Structure 1
């Protein structure tokens, strides 16, 4: 009878622990590649978001400067209206009356000539 030595009785081939380790390594590589592609997609997306944010900030800065210029223009106009409203109301009423009479005579003259 033969005695069993070291290494005898151990299954050989691509099954058992050796086979499952190989499959696990392949699975890890597949998952690593999938993760790598997802990370690159997220990276490109974050870069695009950064560019969009820069563009939107430029537009907001332009709008801010336009609003400032409009506010200045409107302030000047309101100041002029305040000055106009402080003026004499009777003077304005006289101008309106004279303009109305002038228009009445112009229309009367046009109708009479026909």
Structure 2
């Protein structure tokens, strides 16, 4: 019985002649060893990627907590600056009024003396 796609003398050896069976077996062993080496390399690479991802997730969590604390600190500082700016504007306005009154009285006094 002949199978479609198989030539004469290739009874089930998938392209290897009967006398070349051992060479096909050796080639299969080489391919298997090569595939095993590649799978081992991919496995070690994926383990390293997983370890790096865990390390980066830890760093991101630390950065997140630091940003939260910085945001709180910055919010407190901005609140204090708002209070300070309100107070300093009032003080500045008072100083300007006092200076204006001083200049007015000095000018009035100079004019009155002449």
TM-score bin, normalised by smaller chain: 0.5 to 0.7
Structure 2 residue runs without a partner (length 5+): 1-10, 12-16, 103-114
- Tell me the residue number matched to 1:24: 31
Q: Which has the higher contact order (CA 8 A, sep 6+)?
A: 2
Structure 1 residue runs without a partner (length 5+): 1-5, 94-114
Instruction: Give TM-score, length-normalised by structure 1.
Output: 0.66
Structure 1 pair 92/32, CA: closer, same or farther in 2 (3 Å)?
farther
- Tell me the residue number matched to 1:54: 61
**How is 1:1-114 mapped onto 2 (pairs within 5 angstroms)?**
10-11=18-19, 15-87=22-94, 88-90=97-99
Taking only aligned residues, the RMSD between alpha carbons, in angstroms, comes to 2.6
Structure 1 pair 12/86, CA: closer, same or farther in 2 (3 Å)?
closer
Runs of 4+ in 1 over 6 A off after TM superposition: none
Shift of 1:26: 1.0
**Residue correspondences, number:** 86
Structure 1 pair 72/11, CA: closer, same or farther in 2 (3 Å)?
same
Structure 1 pair 21/37, CA: closer, same or farther in 2 (3 Å)?
same
